[in-house]
Structure formats: C-alpha cells, structure tokens
Amino acid sequence: MILVGKIKKNIDAKKYSTFLTPIFTHACYHGILVGLTLTYFQFSLEVILLGLIFETFTHFLIDTAKGFINRLNTDFTNPTKQPYWFIFGLDQFAHQLIKIAIVYWIVYKQIFVNFNIFS
C-alpha cells in the first residue's frame, strides 16, 4: 500500500505540478535513458552529458508546464473530454520534438562539424 500511495503521489505531482521534486525525478529518469542510449552507441562523453542534461531540463519544463495548464480547467484532467487529449497530444509532441532536436544536434555536430561520429 505504501508503494501505491507513493506512485499516486508522483502521478498527482506530475499532473498538477503540486511540488517539483517528483517531476524532476521523473525527468532525470528520461535524461538517464537518453544518456544510456547515447552510451550504447558509443558517443563521446561530451555528447552523452549534453544529451542527458538537455533531455532532463526540457522534460522537466514540459511536464511542469503541463501541470500548470492542468490547473486552469478540470477538462484538461478528464480523459473523457477533448481538451485532455489536446493537452496530452501537445505534451507528447513537445517531448518528441526534443528527441528530434537531440538527434539533429548529434548529426550536425558529430558529422557535419567534426566529421567524427565516434570518439
């Protein structure tokens, strides 16, 4: 029961931005996964750290913004209402744009600037 309560607390924090530590922790998980992915493909330490930091920071900002938007109207938190799905889609679109930006930066920096994708 303690774990269920903690999970609900984290979901509510992400949903409403009631406090920022669980949202930041969640963003760190995403940053770590990006870092591990870049490590798997043997990118330089600079690329790995910048990707990890960029993903963590932007994920935190997107989720915090969504939480603040959710406070504006209860329709944003009700999955039976159209505004919920609009905000959900906007949130997911923003997250995917960040992934595209990371890939673009890696391709541009590592291939077109340095001509060296692996270090």
Global pTM reads 0.78
Q: Give residue-wise pLDDT tens across range 27-74.
A: 999 999 999 999 999 988 999 999 999 999 999 999 999 989 998 988
Residue 14 has pLDDT above 80, yes or no: no
Distance of CA 3 to the CA centre of its chain: 23
What pLDDT does 5 receive? 58
Q: Which structural domain, as residue segments, surrounds residue 103?
A: 2-113
Answer yes or no: is 10 within a domain: yes
Q: Does residue 51 contact residue 38 with C-beta atoms inside 8 Å?
A: yes
Answer yes or no: is 84 within a domain: yes
Answer yes or no: is 75 within a domain: yes
Q: Give residue-wise pLDDT tens across range 15-38.
A: 665 678 889 999 999 999 999 999
Number of domains in the chain: 1
Nearest to 102 by CA among 66, 53, 42: 53
Output 12 or 69, whichever has higher pLDDT.
69
Answer yes or no: is 119 within a domain: no
* Mean pLDDT of the region 83-93: 96
